[in-house]
Amino acid sequence: TLDTKQDYELIDAVFNALLPTRPDFTLADILTLLKAHPDLRGLNDHVAHRWV
């Protein structure tokens, strides 16, 4: 979900990385990107998530 500025930064980084070459990117593409760029995962690692 998009709850914090850090969440937005992560989503924005994913879109900026994938959209230019794969406008129809999939979840698998996102996971591959995050595995290749662990720094992206760190953008919102410190955010305390609330579970419902």
Q: What is the end-to-end Cα distance of the chain in Å, rounded?
A: 12
Query: Who has greater pLDDT, 37 or 51?
Result: 37
Is residue 41 scored above 90 in pLDDT? no
Structural domain including 19 reads 5-41
Structure tokens at 46: 């410190």
Q: Say if 47 falls within a structural domain.
A: no
Q: Say if 20 falls within a structural domain.
A: yes
The number of angstroms, rounded, from the C-alpha of 21 to the middle of its chain's C-alpha atoms is 16
Q: Say if 52 falls within a structural domain.
A: no
Residues in the chain: 52
CB 47 within 8 A of CB 2: no
Q: Say if 19 falls within a structural domain.
A: yes
- What is the per-residue pLDDT across 14-26, written as a single tens digit (0 to 9) for each? 999 999 999 999 9
Is residue 1 scored above 70 in pLDDT? yes
Residue 10 burial (10 A CB sphere; 0-12, 13-18, 19+): buried
